[in-house]
Structure 1
Amino acid sequence: MAPRKIDRVGSKSQTEKKLRVRVEAKRVKTEMGKVREEQECLKDEQRKLITRFDEIAKQCDELKQETEMIEKQSAITRAKLILMFGILKARESGDLVQAANLTALLREIVAMEEENAIVDEAKDEEDP
């Protein structure tokens, strides 16, 4: 009978140890659940940031294209103004041949611009 008492004492401490282990396991599981939730939140935020960065990169590319287009238009406008100034100077000096040549060149540039505008409009209509 004495061994039973020893077993009971031993089992009581083992039962307490098992109980502590179970409590600790539940606590760890709860903490792991919280960590998983936090990780999911972080992943969602990361996805949102990646999407936002992609949008920003796309907008940056669009702005670069618009800037290039404005630079080209500015260069063409500058060239036309130079031609117009040359036409005025040629007329003032009485050089009608030079004025006619410069006027023809200006007309060609304007015609090319109009053709490009028509082509661009057709491309815009084709793109959905």
Structure 2
Amino acid sequence: KRRLRTVNSRMKRLRVEMKEITAEQREIKEGQRQVREKFEAIELQCEELRKETMLMTQQSAKTQIRLALMFQILKARQNQELDKAAILTHALREVVAREEQELDASKK
């Protein structure tokens, strides 16, 4: 009888431990799921930031080109190089028109 009680007692303890282990495993799985979701959200944010950074870099480069052309136009006018100023002005208009076309195309 005593042996039977000891075995039953151990079985009860084992069942309790098994339930605890099962609960812990569920908690671990839930924690892993939450970490995975957070990681995916962070990856999405990183990708958005990369795209925004690239767009800002492109816009900055385009602005630098326009400013350089404007500066050259002013310099040509100062030096009375009106033909050169006209060519540069035409180039600036083409750059601006191309940028507007790109902007319109990206909106569609």
Q: TM-score scaled to structure 2, two decimals?
A: 0.98
| Residue in structure 2 matched with residue 115 of structure 1 by the alignment | 101
Please say if 1:77 is aligned against 2:63: yes
In the alignment of these two chains, the number of paired residues is 108
Segments of 4+ moved more than 2 angstroms: none
Please say if 1:52 is aligned against 2:38: yes
| Residue in structure 1 matched with residue 52 of structure 2 by the alignment | 66
**% identical equivalent positions:** 40
Matches for 1:1-128 after TM superposition, within 5 Å: 15-122=1-108
Q: Per-residue displacement from partner, 1:47-81 (whole Å, max 9, x unpaired)? A: 01001101101110110011001000000000100
> Unaligned 5+ residue runs, structure 1?
1-14, 123-128
Q: Per-residue displacement from partner, 1:12-58 (whole Å, max 9, x unpaired)? A: xxx11011101111111101101110110110010010011011011
Q: Give the aligned CA root-mean-square deviation in angstroms.
A: 0.6
Which has the larger Rg?
Answer: 1
> Unaligned 5+ residue runs, structure 2?
none
1:18 and 1:106 mapped to 2: Cα distance?
97
Higher relative contact order (CA 8 A, sep 6+): 2
1:99 and 1:21 mapped to 2: Cα distance?
101
The one-letter code matched in structure 2 to 1:70 is M
